[in-house]
Structure 1
Amino acid sequence: MREQQWNGVRRRVAELDARPSSDKVFGSLRHEWALEDPLADDELAELEAQLGVRLPEDYRDFLTRVGAGGAGPAYGVFPVRRVQGRWRWEGDGADLADLALLARPFPEHGPDPEAVEALLAERPDEEDFDEIEEFDDAAEAWDERWDALMFAPERTAGALVISHLGCAQREWLIISGTHRGTVWSDCRVDDTDLAPLLDDAGTPVTFARWYLDWLDQAEATARRPRTGE
């Protein structure tokens, strides 16, 4: 049953590509409804051997039955490719994930909220400086502290960046730990910590749910007539 959920997905994506109105779907002009070829079983085995971790089951099935990446939520699912003998994910922000940390459990908690709030209160304001150079120096020093607090590699241990929403907002797939197999939103650019995607019932969204819900919504969007038609 688990694998059957991917039956017909490549065909559905191809049918969306053939619809003139499918360009209404957000991100489609970027991924252009193209899907990479699926991974062979031996390629998946090699990938996981290099990573030292088994990927979540529904994501494994997606890679071998649908494609190694391509058309999907937002600007698409980041493809995983072998480059000079090493496997890696490619996309805007894919390098934020430390592949050497994928076997470590994803942290149960992010930075201390009080520490975040205190640092935000110290963010430099240009109006407080007489010289723009002084403000630039202060802002650069503050950014370094912010990055050390919010973007430390340990924050996203056990997770992969799988999609880019634009404006430095991304989504992660948790590979290891108690949240394994769920998708998390990353809006740290907007001063908020990573958070799990939840459905209407408050249940964490799995990779399969994340992708298949997007596909359903994309088909619904493409069926709607354009304004004025």
Structure 2
Amino acid sequence: MREQVLALREAPFPEKVFGARWQRSGHEFLLESPLGEAEVAAAEEELGVSFPSTYRAFLLEVGAGGAGPYYGIFPLRHDGQGWHWVDDSGIRSDNTLLGQAFPSVAERARWAEELDAREPVEQDFPDDQSYLAAFRAWDDEWERLHASMTAGAICLSHEGCGYYTWLVVTGPERGTLWIDLRAADGLLEPLSAGPHRVDFRDWYLSWLSRATSQAHGG
């Protein structure tokens, strides 16, 4: 798989593959070096999770990140602050919720409904200042809820326009991938092929097949 990806750099039409050559965000069909078994095990121990088998195999045999669907796979790296993923803006992941179970669709809907019902109403406050203070506190709750909705999942890839792909590592949905459409007031939705949920291997191989065809003029 690694050799197939790197070979696409020499294909006749690599620019036809979305995200490969897009200004500074393009992955250019480059892959970071694979991690060793000891490194992956150390990352799992520090983060308090066990990576799904197909993603774990990718880290060990293909690369720690780089070329992949859309703008590529966010790399898993280690520095003086420990193991983390780095997004396409260079921002480190926040792994504090990674060990919590990924919430169900029903849980996310209930949380949003309950918080929405608590929105401050201006008429209930004696002045603008007190209303604005209450509204800001309520808005901060939305920020925390937004993060809680992806607890137990790794942000893998930016699809563009603020849409992201998440890999669940904790809870009943472990191993499945989800598309995050909240930037356009959408939902977190599972990736699926017919009745089956898509895992990391399915997702990556589907992209590689499509990218190979596009890069060769298909």
Normalised TM-score (structure 1): 0.77
Q: Given the alignment, which residue of 7, 18, 23 partners 1:15?
A: 7
Please state whether the residue corresponding to 1:224 is helix, strand or coil: coil
What is the aligned partner in structure 1 of residue 142 from structure 2? Answer: 147
Q: Structure 1: where are the runs of 5+ without partners?
A: 1-8, 123-136
What is the aligned partner in structure 2 of residue 111 from structure 1? Answer: 109
Q: Report the residue type matching 2:177 in the other structure.
A: V
Distance change (3 Å), C-alpha of 1:194 and 1:145: same
Please state whether the residue corresponding to 2:96 is helix, strand or coil: helix
Q: Structure 2: where are the runs of 5+ without partners?
A: 121-131
Q: Distance in 2 between matches of 1:179 and 1:99?
A: 18
Q: Distance in 1 between matches of 2:92 and 2:185?
A: 17
Q: Given the alignment, which residue of 77, 81, 89 partners 1:81?
A: 77
Q: Distance in 2 between matches of 1:98 and 1:85?
A: 12
Deviation at residue 74 of structure 1 after TM alignment: 0.4
**2:204 aligned with 1:211, yes or no?**
yes
Distance change (3 Å), C-alpha of 1:144 and 1:25: same
Q: Is the 8 A contact 1:174 1:182 kept in 2?
A: yes
Please state whether the residue corresponding to 1:27 is helix, strand or coil: coil
Q: Distance in 2 between matches of 1:55 and 1:10?
A: 20
Q: Distance in 2 between matches of 1:159 and 1:183?
A: 9
Q: Distance in 1 between matches of 2:198 and 2:204?
A: 10
What is the aligned partner in structure 1 of residue 125 from structure 2? Answer: none
Q: Distance in 1 between matches of 2:138 and 2:181?
A: 16
Q: Report the residue type matching 1:20 in the other structure.
A: P
Q: Report the residue type matching 2:64 in the other structure.
A: A
Q: Report the residue type matching 2:166 in the other structure.
A: W
**2:215 aligned with 1:222, yes or no?**
yes
Distance change (3 Å), C-alpha of 1:45 and 1:160: same
Q: Is the 8 A contact 1:97 1:156 kept in 2?
A: no
What is the aligned partner in structure 2 of residue 49 from structure 1? Answer: 45
Distance change (3 Å), C-alpha of 1:203 and 1:95: farther
Q: Distance in 2 between matches of 1:93 and 1:222?
A: 26
Q: Distance in 1 between matches of 2:103 and 2:89?
A: 20
Q: Is the 8 A contact 1:97 1:157 kept in 2?
A: no
Q: What is the Cα-based RMSD across aligned positions, in Å?
A: 2.8
Deviation at residue 220 of structure 1 after TM alignment: 1.2
**2:156 aligned with 1:156, yes or no?**
no
Normalised TM-score (structure 2): 0.81
Deviation at residue 180 of structure 1 after TM alignment: 0.6
Deviation at residue 94 of structure 1 after TM alignment: 8.3
Q: Given the alignment, which residue of 160, 168, 174 partners 1:174?
A: 168
Distance change (3 Å), C-alpha of 1:145 and 1:84: closer
Q: Distance in 2 between matches of 1:93 and 1:192?
A: 22
